[in-house]
Structure 1
Amino acid sequence: MPEINSAVESLLQSSNTYFLLMGAIMVFAMHAGFAFLEVGTVRHKNQVNALVKIITDFAISCIAYFFIGYWIAYDTTFFSSAAELSANNGYELVKFFFLVTFAAAIPAIISGGIAERAKFYPFLIASALIVALVYPFFEGIVWNGNYGLQDKLKELTGEPFHDFAGSVVVHAMGGWLAFVGVLLLGLRHGRIKDKRLVAFAPSNIPFLALGTWVLCIGWFGFNVMSAQAVEGISGLVALNSLMAMVGGIIAALIFGKNDPGFIHNGPLAGLVAVCAGSDIMHPIGSLFVGLIAGWLFVMLFTVLQKTQKIDDVLGVWPLHGLCGAWGGLAAGIFGLEALGGLGGVSFTAQLIGTVAGILIALVGGFVIYASIAKILGLRLSQEQEFQGADLSIHRIGSVNHD
């Protein structure tokens, strides 16, 4: 009997490790989606830079999170023998792989907002600092109970802050960090012509659409695998993610008036918003969450195109920052038993946790970006921006005309 129990435990541990590894691979693949979404949106002269930023940001994020960020969030380091690290089939190592793909999503989100006029190395340094310090600080509070703040919130409201897969921890944080960078960078040159504000059309709709499809597919690893163990698999999470995605598409189709850029960002808005409560909401509730998120993105991105202060190229602030915040609040609404949810959530706790995430992102982002701006500068020169980041930074364009 003990041998049977041991074999069952070993099989379960192996299954959990494999399950989480597949989730890590799916979320890792989402970074290709981030890359092609940006490539399809920016002008041709900045497409190479978009690709390079996403892959180098991932590498920098991995190093920063491995040595500092993961330690801050989970009080765990990798300064032990390989034998110790590989215990339990290396589950803890795969957990790091899974969570670093989340952490690296922060710079990938920011990349889309600051595109076409940002210096390369200063923003790589900013990415390292954000993933090492700002993101894991909030991540540890929410997902590891650091500093006892979740316990205090439960005492105050009856429930802790609930963010199952990162509407606020990942997406709102990334979107509001991007908001700071976008504000400090200012408008791209050429946005104002004859005293009128003009928009730059996406350069390649097929690439933009490819980015969306890759992100949508990977998102089911992002959400479902957030259970981090086989016994936690929930079909409810999968169906809620699907319904929110569909709701986002429909809202973007209607309110975006058939615009392909809006339509392909609609599903992402819905998926961003459903992350927090995907494990507790009813599928019909998730559909409404996605519909509202799709509408929010279209309306707010349209407003951004008319302001002379915020030039958010991919609309990452409305898509991730505001839809992520909506997701945090929505979990406290549609997760309630009265609206068909599983309960165990408090709207007050969701409001406090969401606002806290936004404030940490704003303060952390301002300190990092303002410091780097003063020391190294954040923006390309007007000549470099006119020439394009591809030639100015990487000395090669996306198409060779020779």
Structure 2
Amino acid sequence: MTIASHPPRRPKRLQEASLLEAPSLLLRGIRGLSSQRSLVWLACIPLALFGLGVFNLSAHAAELPELTAAFLANNMFLLIAAVLVIFMNAGFAMVEAGLCRQKNAVNILAKNLIVFALAVSAYWFIGYKIMYNADWVIPGWFKFGGIFFDPTVTAEMVTDAALVPSIDFLFQAAFVGTAATIVSGLVAERIKFGEFVIFSLVLCGILYPISGSWQWNFPDDAGVGGGWLASLGFIDFAGSTVVHSFGAWAGLIGAILLGPRIGKFVEGKPQAIPGHNLSIATLGCLILWIGWYGFNPGSVLAMNETVPYVAVTTTLGAAGGGISATLMSQFTGGKPDLTMTINGILAGLVAVTAGCDGFSMPAAWVVGFIGGVLVVLSVAFIDGLKIDDPVGAFSVHGTCGMWGTLAVGLFNMDKGLLTGHGPAQLGIQIVGIVAFAIFAIVASLITWSIIGAIFGGIRVTEKEEIEGLDIGEHGMEAYPDFAASAK
């Protein structure tokens, strides 16, 4: 008697599964679910669902008057500005990836991509509420009042042509993402991906909102209710210090704790580690320049006559920085250095950001020009301290962010020392610069140290660093068809 053999049983497809079988079938189909890292990411899902469950994100229905042209113009303008600032993430990713080595390109791109998702999520969950939409717990210093924000549009907002909460949040979230991206450049090519993710969440959800509230919560007409720096008269129009130097200090502490990349310093002397693709670095620089027209003009927070003026001073600052950095590299190295031209343009943009609404046009160019000189000198100075900053991020955002903030006290048309208004504003600007630096250094040192203690350090192994973070951290390569020797 012959027994007919049965063909192997075909695994049940998800479409054929019952409602009770589907969850387990889906989980079994997720590759790598058994790894600790995958489980950590998966654990975020119920937390996110809980947040959605306890808060109603839908705008409340309200009786609104007819939408005015001014209301629509202001909100549409800021929406476009927010999109431009968000697109700057592409520029940061390309500059950083292009100025670093091929073997770390995937890791750098992944960090720059995920950091904005992290920034928006953390800022939406709690950061925006700390920075703006809450009551002072410690007047002028710290706000807190729950989580999320109320997106309701009121009749008063329409009548006053004010920004709706959702637009304001989106624009501010784009800024917090910039601060976290600056950190990425300073710790490039040797930091663990997961540990960077955790630091970014803390930075965007807690640290940046606390210090940002000091300046960008302005007092009312009676002179009360603002952040302590705003009440003091500190000026940082679009964030040379609030965003750029704050992110630079946070990243610098990470770079110091990580130590230099293998081969960066030989017998105490810095060695050049060339980037693998200056074409995309150059394109990234141009994307950032364009994005800055959202960053600075958008900070007017309305569509009015100040917007085009700020756009021009921003352009002049970038132009001055690019010219001077190119000249400085010619003088110091014998030939014009493209990487210094890139950083010079960015340095000019960062420098002019603090006072772009209050600089004269000649002053804006001069501020950018000096920023371009400083960035070249600062890169050499940081190398001399044996701190490894792979893309010159601290020199661009830290050194030139502080310079631009200081320049307000010198060149502001209404309050500057060199425009005949005395040294008072210059002193206030110094206080603000020092305050942000101290807070960023102390808070970042504590945060990086705690993360390192919990996870056994923040740096990848020597083997992973030599092989490249693309393989060690992500299991893939940016250019798999290229020869390994090209890395």
Does the 8 A contact of 1:285 with 1:339 survive in 2? no
CA distance in 2: counterparts of 1:83 and 1:237, whole angstroms:
29
Match of 2:393 in 1: 316
Structure 1 alignment gaps of length 5 or more? 1-5
How big is the shift at 1:230?
A: 1.4
User: CA shift at 1:10, angstroms?
Assistant: 2.2
The one-letter code of the counterpart of 2:476 is: I
* Structure 2 SS opposite 1:305: helix
Q: Does 1:60 align with 2:118?
A: yes
State whether structure 2 residue 435 is matched by structure 1 residue 356: yes
The change in CA–CA distance for 1:275 and 1:220 in structure 2 (over 3 A counts) is same
Q: For 1:122 and 1:341, locate their aligned partners in 2 and report how far apart those are by CA, in whole Å.
A: 49
Normalization by structure 2: what TM-score? 0.75
Cα displacement (A) at 1:189: 1.0
Quick one: distance in 1 between partners of 2:230 and 2:178? 29
> In 2, are the aligned partners of 1:38 and 1:112 still within 8 Å (CA)?
yes
Q: Tell me the SS of whatever aligns to 1:346.
A: helix
Residues 32/81 of structure 1: CA separation in 2 closer, same or farther (3 Å cut) = closer
Structure 1 counterpart of 2:205, which letter? A
More displaced stretch, 218-227 vs 335-344: 335-344
Sequence identity of aligned pairs in percent? 35
Aligned pairs for 1:120-131 within 5 A: 120-131=193-204
Distance 1:154 1:329 in 2: 16
Change in Cα spacing, 1:148 to 1:356, as seen in structure 2 (3 Å) is: farther
Q: Which residue matches 1:3?
A: none
Decide which of 373, 382, 402 is 2:462's aligned counterpart.
Answer: 382
SS of equivalent to 1:104: helix
- Contact 1:248–1:269 (8 Å) recurs in 2: yes
Aligned to 2:166: 93
1:293 to 361, 371, 376: 371
Please say which of residues 339-348 and 247-256 is displaced more in the overlay. 339-348
Deviation at 1:150, TM superposition (A): 5.9
Higher mean C-alpha deviation, range 295-304 or range 270-279: 295-304
Q: Deviations over 1:197-234 (max 9, x none)?
A: 31201211101101100000110110001011113643
Which residue in the other structure is 2:73 paired with? 15
2:353 to 275, 296, 320: 275
Between 186-195 and 375-384, report the one with greater CA deviation: 186-195
- Give the root-mean-square deviation of aligned CA atoms: 2.6
Deviation, structure 1 residue 307: 3.8
How far is the alpha carbon of 1:192 from its aligned partner?
3.5
- One-letter amino acid matched to 1:303: F
Distance 1:375 1:154, change over 3 A: closer
Q: Which of these residues, 445, 448, 456, is aligned with residue 366 of structure 1?
A: 445
Whole-angstrom CA distance in 1 between matches of 2:420 and 2:357: 9
- What CA distance in whole angstroms lies between the structure 1 residues aligned with 2:351 and 2:109? 26
Distance 2:478 2:78 in 1: 36
Cα pair 1:275 1:327 within 8 Å, conserved: yes
Identify which of structures 1 and 2 has the higher relative contact order when contacts are C-alpha pairs closer than 8 Å and 6+ apart: 1
Residue in 2 that maps onto 1:216: 289
Say if 1:79 and 1:229 are closer, same or farther in 2 by CA, change over 3 A: closer
1:261-289 CA-partner distances (Å, limit 9, x unpaired): 00111110011011111000111111111
Report the alpha carbon displacement of residue 148 of structure 1 after superposing the two structures with TM: 6.2
Structure number, greater radius of gyration: 2
Q: Could you state the TM-score of these two structures normalised by the residue count of structure 1?
A: 0.91
User: How many angstroms does 1:90 deviate by?
Assistant: 7.4
CA distance in structure 2 between the aligned counterparts of 1:345 and 1:194, rounded to whole angstroms: 46
Alignment CA distance shift 1:329-1:396 (3 Å):
same
Q: Are 1:395 and 2:468 matched, yes or no? A: no
Residue type matched to 1:133 in 2?
I
State the shift of 1:38 in Å.
0.6
Tell me the distance in 1 between the aligned counterparts of 2:390 and 2:312.
Answer: 31
Structure 1 residue 302, shift from structure 2 partner: 2.0
Aligned to 1:239: 312
What per-residue deviation string (whole Å, max 9, x for no partner) do you get for residues 50-83 of structure 1?
A: 1100111111111110011100000255455777
In structure 2, the partner of 1:115 is 188
Q: Alpha carbons of 1:360 and 1:253: their partners in 2 closer, same or farther (altered >3 Å)? A: same
1:49 deviates by 0.7
Distance in 2 between residues matched to 1:53 and 1:373, nearest whole Å = 18
2:274 maps to 1:201: yes
1:316-355 correspondence to structure 2 within 5 Å: 316-337=393-414, 339=418, 346-355=425-434
Flag the 1:96–1:254 CA change in 2: closer, same or farther, 3 A: same
CA distance in 2, matches of 1:233, 1:124: 38
Does structure 1 conserve the Cα–Cα contact (< 8 Å) formed by 2:88 and 2:291? Answer: yes
Q: CA deviation at 1:344?
A: 12
